């Protein structure tokens, strides 16, 4: 049995269905579940996407009852073993470049892009301090 992530990024999107498609195609997130609203199937009530190296994203559509939750903004950092390949994949899927591939002085190779609704996604080889 695979351990489930202990930390989830949570987001609201104006078009959550399109966001799910983008996150899968551009970055390689794996959709594990998506529930739509019973009265309006275009509304995503809840979806979960796992990142292959651990962690995940929970997302849903902006709705009246969660209107106080501002739709996407902010940013996320995600560890990848293949920043070059992922960078090309993200741009091909329509991500907007914020910062191209760069080798950092602390040893990480990384890049930053923006998704169609404005969330900034940084991907790199830096795994954080251990210990």
Residue by residue, pLDDT tens for the chain (131 residues) are 455 567 889 899 999 999 999 999 999 999 999 999 999 989 999 999 999 998 999 999 987 766 666 665 678 999 999 999 999 999 999 999 999 999 999 999 999 999 999 999 999 999 988 76
Report how far residue 58's alpha carbon sits from residue 131's, in angstroms, rounded to the nearest whole number: 28
Rounded distance between C-alpha atoms, residue 63 and residue 59, angstroms:
12
| DSSP three-state, residue 75 | strand
For the chain, which residues make up each domain, given as ranges?
8-124
8-124 is classed CATH 3.10.180.10: yes
Structure tokens at 99: 């910062």
pLDDT (0 to 100) of residue 25: 98
What is the chain's length? 131
Tokens describing residue 98: 């914020």
Bridge partners (DSSP) listed for residue 111: 123
């Amino acid at each position: 049995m695979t351990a489930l992530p202990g930390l989830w990024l949570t987001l609201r999107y104006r078009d959550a269905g399109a966001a799910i498609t983008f996150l899968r195609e551009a970055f390689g997130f794996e959709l594990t579940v998506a529930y739509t609203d019973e009265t309006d199937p275009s509304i995503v009530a809840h979806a979960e996407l796992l990142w292959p190296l651990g962690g995940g994203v929970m997302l849903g559509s902006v709705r009246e009852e969660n209107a106080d939750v501002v739709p996407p903004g902010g940013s996320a950092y995600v560890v990848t073993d293949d920043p070059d390949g992922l960078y090309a994949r993200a741009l091909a899927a329509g991500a907007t470049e914020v910062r191209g591939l760069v080798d950092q002085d602390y040893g990480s190779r990384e890049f930053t892009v923006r998704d169609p609704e404005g969330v900034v996604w940084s991907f790199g080889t830096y795994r954080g301090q251990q210990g």
